[in-house]
Chain A
Amino acid sequence: MRYFFNIRDGETFIADPEGSDLGSLEAAIDEAKANAREMIAERLRTGAALRDQVFELTNESGDIVARIDFKDVLH
């Protein structure tokens, strides 16, 4: 299955133009969490303020299959 890791950041929407092949929705959610942790880590490392970002995972038909809030991946 191909999953797209789009990001919603307030008013801004950053579409994932490529997507990744992953075995299951569970694997896609794990991938999204790892992505979010890296992006948070990058902001912390460079002293930038954290943002309220959310991964909106979509499948090949464009349906939203999961929402992963960046805030929730730190626990």
Chain B
Amino acid sequence: MTFRQDEVGNRMLAALMPADFTLLQPYLEKVKLPAHFEIARPRSRLEYLYFPESGIGAVMTVSPNDRSAEAGMFGSEGFVPTSTIIGDDIVPYLIEMHVAGLGYRVPIKVMRELTARSSSLQIPFIKYMHVFATQVAYTALANARYRIEQRLARWILMCHDRLRSDELDITHEYIAFMLGTRRPSVTTALHVLEGERLIRSNRGLIIVLDRKGLEEFAAGSYGIPEQEFERLIGRAHRETE
């Protein structure tokens, strides 16, 4: 099956130079990315890298005694695992889908061969590695310096960016797991955001009412990695058009 670059829903693939997309295109395989699908398990050998078109995935840090926390979130803007771009096929993280979606996969072996043939192919991917590192850095800042309500606002905004819907089908239990906190802390924090009329929360459903307000509430914990993405990848793509 052939895919046209202006039809792919993944922003990394869309950001490639047309000649590089043509090089990669024959190896793109369209795949379903169901919820709980494990893209990578810690320290196991990987065959593919993935370019989601929809859904949400998480890069989770897992300790040897099974403590885990979300390090970063990805969706249709990115690709995983980012380390495949240096040719590596083992990651220390757990990478899994949490909201089901669709996407493409490419064998890591092929990616290695193609990046050896075209020096421009890996430029958007290396830029994304930097953007993703920025996101992880802001997760560290949020965890160290922000209140749970602000961290929750940031997390909801990041989901909102990737789901293209104001209705987020997410339980408190799941949010608590992702934020590394207990469930009542999330329920109470959602109550605070609801009191500010930023969201509405029903059982298993969070409805974004005021996105601008959520951004203000997140008070700088959200936004810089997203701006970095647009500065480095979004704009670069427009310049080639």
Q: Interface size of B by Cβ–Cβ distance < 8 Å? A: 17
A14 at the interface (CB under 8 A from B): yes
Task: Count how many pairs of residues, one from A and one from B, have CB atoms less than 8 Å apart in the complex.
Answer: 46
Contact B173 A18 (CB under 8 A): yes
Collect the chain A residues with CB atoms within 8 Å of residue B204's CB. Answer: 17-18
Contact A5 B183 (CB under 8 A): yes
Contact B184 A7 (CB under 8 A): yes
B-contact 0/1 string along A6-28, CB 8 Å cutoff: 01000010101110100000000
Contact B173 A38 (CB under 8 A): no
Interface of A is mostly: mixed
- Interface size class of chain A, counting residues whose CB lies under 8 Å from the partner chain: 10 to 19
One of B148, B172, B185, B188 near A17 (C-beta < 8 A): B172
A26 to B188 CA separation, bound complex (whole angstroms): 23
Q: How far is the CB of A50 from chain B (nearest CB, A)?
A: 14
A12 to B187 CA separation, bound complex (whole angstroms): 13
B191 at the interface (CB under 8 A from A): yes
Collect the chain B residues with CB atoms within 8 Å of residue A16's CB. Answer: 183-184, 187
**9 interchain residue pairs of minimum CB distance:** A17-B203, A35-B184, A46-B147, A14-B191, A38-B182, A5-B184, A35-B182, A18-B172, A42-B148
The chain B residues found within 8 Å of chain A, CB to CB, are 147-148, 171-173, 181-185, 187-188, 191, 201-204
A–B pairs, 27, beta carbons within 8 Å: A5-B184, A5-B187, A7-B184, A7-B187, A7-B188, A12-B191, A14-B188, A16-B183, A17-B172, A17-B187, A17-B202, A17-B204, A18-B172, A18-B183, A20-B183, A35-B184, A35-B185, A38-B185, A39-B182, A39-B184, A39-B185, A39-B188, A42-B147, A42-B148, A46-B147, A48-B147, A55-B184
